[in-house]
């Protein structure tokens, strides 16, 4: 039986622990909050993030990092992206020497412009063959109640990718493997920013034409950035690109879309964040993503406008965003 440590007791970390347990793995979950860990271990719920959804009885949780990591074949990292470096630096001495490290995080690090897998490799001092990423149309609350979906497990080493995929393959959760780590990660990171833009349009009362335009052109700028960094265009047209983008932009379960809707209705960033309740990664990652694009000469106009809204904390005329986008010089669609 594969032993898995899941580092993070938020909605996606807890949900992925459910998937792993249902797939037959031995799962131990780390959380910062002792009360949450006790609830998971004794009551088999995580009401803060997943309501009354019941977790498998085999999932245990603890605040003891060493105990959770001890003997793990796979270590899953499921914490906010901008906290990864500091947390992983503390955990690194306890990481099992041959474990595959799996990132569920979707973002680009402030300052370094590194993708999450690159941060993992740098801080943990491991090679690319030991770092995998998981991304796809994976809204946690739907998966927690066993609604069917698919995902992508990417690693430069196909054997490691297959190990992770086999370990999380459940009747309702179908993982595909890929070696395009760059494409899978960037699809997951940028879709959060595009979902903010779609949410803003929704909050302003815009219809499906507007939202479909943002999604499609958002995919275009995601693909431009991905290919500039070595990703395969087909990856961005797949589950980790288009699939994740559509789910995040249209679902009311999406925190990024929810926060965007609040901004579009006239709330400032602080108020909108309160409405979203939990971390909306697009707010934290939009700036580093735009900086990364500019470093590589990639045009990302939708991301640029979202960054403008975030940096002014929502204290702007939201309607000016659409004007600025529509007044850009015309060009061929594929350019």
CA–CA separation, 2 and 21 (whole Å): 10
Q: Does residue 331 lie within any of the structural domains?
A: no
Residue 156, classified by CB atoms within 10 Å of its CB into exposed (0-12), middle (13-18) or buried (19+), is middle
Asked if pLDDT for residue 310 goes beyond 90, the answer is no
Q: Does residue 333 lie within any of the structural domains?
A: no
The per-residue pLDDT for 82 is: 87
- In this structure, the answer to whether residues 171 and 253 fall within a common structural domain is no
pLDDT tens string 157-209:
999 999 999 999 999 999 999 999 999 999 999 999 999 999 999 999 999 99
Q: Does residue 45 lie within any of the structural domains?
A: yes
C-beta separation of 309 from 125 below 8 A: no
Q: What's the chain's length in residues?
A: 335
Final residue before a domain boundary, out of 130, 146, 179: 179
Of 104, 133, 110, residue with least CA distance to 12: 104
Alpha-helical runs (H) found in the chain: 11-22, 34-38, 47-50, 65-69, 84-91, 116-124, 140-144, 158-167, 181-203, 208-228, 233-236, 244-250, 255-264, 269-276, 281-295, 301-311, 319-326
Q: Does residue 244 lie within any of the structural domains?
A: yes
Provide the CATH number for the domain around residue 188. 1.10.1040.10
Higher pLDDT, 311 or 31: 31
Q: What is the pLDDT averaged over residues 231-260?
A: 96
- 119 Cα distance to chain centroid: 15
Non-local (6+) Cβ contacts of 16 within 8 A are 6, 76, 78, 104, 134, 168
CA–CA separation, 188 and 155 (whole Å): 15
pLDDT tens string 77-112:
999 988 999 999 999 999 999 999 999 999 999 999
Final residue before a domain boundary, out of 163, 179, 195: 179
Alpha-helical runs (H) found in 30-69: 34-38, 47-50, 65-69
Final residue before a domain boundary, out of 113, 144, 179: 179
Sign of torsion over alpha carbons 66, 67, 71, 75: negative
Q: Does residue 335 lie within any of the structural domains?
A: no
- In this structure, the answer to whether residues 231 and 269 fall within a common structural domain is yes
The pLDDT confidence band at residue 335, using thresholds 50, 70 and 90, is: low
pLDDT tens string 133-150:
999 999 999 999 999 999
Q: DSSP assignment of 268-304, as one string?
A: -HHHHHHHH-S--HHHHHHHHHHHHHHHTT---HHHH
- In this structure, the answer to whether residues 124 and 204 fall within a common structural domain is no
- In this structure, the answer to whether residues 169 and 77 fall within a common structural domain is yes
- In this structure, the answer to whether residues 214 and 104 fall within a common structural domain is no
The per-residue pLDDT for 315 is: 67
Count up the domains in the chain and report the number.
2
Bridge partners of 132? 102
- In this structure, the answer to whether residues 14 and 157 fall within a common structural domain is yes
Asked if pLDDT for residue 327 goes beyond 80, the answer is no
pTM of the model: 0.93
- In this structure, the answer to whether residues 107 and 197 fall within a common structural domain is no
Q: Does residue 334 lie within any of the structural domains?
A: no
- In this structure, the answer to whether residues 15 and 161 fall within a common structural domain is yes
- In this structure, the answer to whether residues 219 and 265 fall within a common structural domain is yes
Q: Does residue 332 lie within any of the structural domains?
A: no
The sheet that has 173-178: what strands, in order across it?
A: 60-62, 26-30, 3-7, 74-77, 100-103, 131-135, 149-154, 173-178
Task: Point out the residues that are catalytic.
Answer: 191
- In this structure, the answer to whether residues 97 and 142 fall within a common structural domain is yes
Percent of the chain with pLDDT over 90: 85
Task: Give me 126's structure tokens.
Answer: 């491991």
Provide the CATH number for the domain around residue 9. 3.40.50.720
Asked if pLDDT for residue 4 goes beyond 90, the answer is yes
pLDDT tens string 48-80:
999 999 999 999 999 999 999 999 999 999 999
- In this structure, the answer to whether residues 229 and 107 fall within a common structural domain is no
- In this structure, the answer to whether residues 193 and 103 fall within a common structural domain is no
The per-residue pLDDT for 62 is: 97
Q: Does residue 239 lie within any of the structural domains?
A: yes
Domain that holds residue 51: 3-179
């Amino acid at each position: 039986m594969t032993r898995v440590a899941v580092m993070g007791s938020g909605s996606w970390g807890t949900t992925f622990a459910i998937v792993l347990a249902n797939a037959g793995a031995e799962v131990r979950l780390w959380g910062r909050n002792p009360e949450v860990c006790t609830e998971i271990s004794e009551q088999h719920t995580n009401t803060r993030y997943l309501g009354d959804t019941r977790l498998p009885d085999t999932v245990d949780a603890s605040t003891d990092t060493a105990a959770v990591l001890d003997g793990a074949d796979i270590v899953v990292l499921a914490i906010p992206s901008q906290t990864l470096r500091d947390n992983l630096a503390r955990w690194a001495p306890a990481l099992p020497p041959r474990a595959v490290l799996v990132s569920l995080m979707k973002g680009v690090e402030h300052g370094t412009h590194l993708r999450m897998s690159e941060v993992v490799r740098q801080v943990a001092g491991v090679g690319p063959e030991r770092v995998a990423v998981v991304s796809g149309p994976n809204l946690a609350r739907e998966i927690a109640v066993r609604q069917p979906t698919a995902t992508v497990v990417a690693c430069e080493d196909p054997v490691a990718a297959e190990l992770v995929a086999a370990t999380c393959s459940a009747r309702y959760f179908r993982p595909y493997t890929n070696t395009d780590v760059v494409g899978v990660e960037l699809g997951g990171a940028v879709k959060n920013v595009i979902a903010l833009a779609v949410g803003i349009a929704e909050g302003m009362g815009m219809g499906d034409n507007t939202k479909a335009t943002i999604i499609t052109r958002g995919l275009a700028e995601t693909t431009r950035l991905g290919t500039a960094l070595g990703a395969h265009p087909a990856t961005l047209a797949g589950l980790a690109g288009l699939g994740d983008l559509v789910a995040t932009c249209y679902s009311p379960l999406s925190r990024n879309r929810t926060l965007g809707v609040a901004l579009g209705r006239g709330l400032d960033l602080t108020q909108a964040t309160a409405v979203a309740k939990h971390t909306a990664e697009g707010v934290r990652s939009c700036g580093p993503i735009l900086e990364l694009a500019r470093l590589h000469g990639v045009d990302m106009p939708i991301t640029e406008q979202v960054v403008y809204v975030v940096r002014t904390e929502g204290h702007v005329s939201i309607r000016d965003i659409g004007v600025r986008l529509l007044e850009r010089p015309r060009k061929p669609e594929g350019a």
